[in-house]
Amino acid sequence: MHEVRQRFDAAAATYDASSTAQRHAAQLLAERLVTLALPPRPRVLEIGCGTGHFTELLTQKLPGARILASDIAPAMIAACKARLGTNPRLLFAAMDGQRPAATAASCDLICGNLVAQWFDDLPTALAGLAALLAPTGVLLLSLPGSATFQEWRAAHAAFDLRAGARTLPTAEECLAALPAGDNRIEIEHWQDHHASGLDFLRSLRRIGADTPAPGHRPLSAGQLRRVLATLGPAPRLTYEFFILTHRRR
């Protein structure tokens, strides 16, 4: 996770201008909050808060909540705090979401927007988060699914090449990764528009999401040109958003 943290730290200043997909996913996640039957003043842990897209929605949808907003990247925490730090019910912490501090135990809600895809071991990480829930607590996460960037992967496959993006889970794998309980998954497909293939790549760097899959070898200049040409002008890139909900039984 060291490389992931470094890239997100470096992207804190450019994140907001290029995080359209993250904002959309945050809205999807926020829509589920009203269905959770949380207590009037829930204790909330947010993992991977970034610059605060979902954090801000949490404060609006759950005005009585005590929220601990956390992120692995200190620069992201600083940006979130600069945006929302005047809220007296909002605290901040540098924390790896797959290794949360024990002080975050007994939460009514643990949530995260487009963060779980970075976990090294999804089942172990989700079990660790679920263990911090109060008896009636809820785990609510969004993450990109395996159909995300299918156009980019197809452009590579046309030349028997493999894209450097990390392998993302299927819906079945996500459900299997959740601990035993009342579990559900919702799926939405959404497209982001880019001026060019290069603009797509640069947007990933601007939000810090360009960490390659382990062992990936970068394309040569010629290979990259062919892939970009196959992707075409003004490409539309698909996001497959999964919304995971887990409640203890």
Q: Which residues contact 9 (CB under 8 A, 6 or more apart)?
A: 73, 74, 75, 76, 208
Mean pLDDT of 97-104: 83
Q: Quote the pLDDT of residue 224.
A: 95
**Strand order in 133-144's β-sheet?**
90-94, 66-71, 43-47, 107-113, 133-144, 236-247, 182-193
| Residue that wins the pLDDT comparison between 108 and 216 | 108
Q: How many other C-beta atoms can be found within 10 angstroms of the C-beta atom of residue 104?
A: 18
Mean pLDDT of 216-226: 94
Q: What is the average pLDDT score of the chain?
A: 94
Q: Quote the pLDDT of residue 5.
A: 87
Q: What confidence tier does 103 reach under pLDDT thresholds 50, 70, 90?
A: confident
Q: What is the pLDDT of residues 104-132, one digit of tens each?
A: 789 999 999 999 999 999 999 999 999 99
Q: Tell me what percent of the residues of the chain surpass a pLDDT of 70.
A: 100
Q: What is the pLDDT of residues 152-171, one digit of tens each?
A: 999 999 999 999 988 999 99
Mean pLDDT of 131-144: 95
CATH 3.40.190.10 fits 2-247, yes or no: no
Task: Give the residue among 164, 166, 160, 154 at the shortest CA–CA distance from 238.
Answer: 154
Location of structure tokens 């404060």: 59
- Does 192 score more than 70 pLDDT? yes
According to DSSP, the residues that pair with 227 across neighbouring strands are: none
Q: Which residues contact 135 (CB under 8 A, 6 or more apart)?
A: 248
* Type of residue found at 2: H
User: Whole-model pTM?
Assistant: 0.94
Q: What are the sequence ranges of the domains in the chain? A: 2-247
Q: Three-state DSSP class for 109?
A: strand
Task: Give the residue among 192, 188, 195, 190 at the shortest CA–CA distance from 237.
Answer: 192
Q: Quote the pLDDT of residue 1.
A: 66
Do 92 and 85 form a contact (C-beta atoms < 8 A)? yes
Helix 221-231 with 197-206: angle, nearest 10 deg: 110
| Residue that wins the pLDDT comparison between 204 and 213 | 204
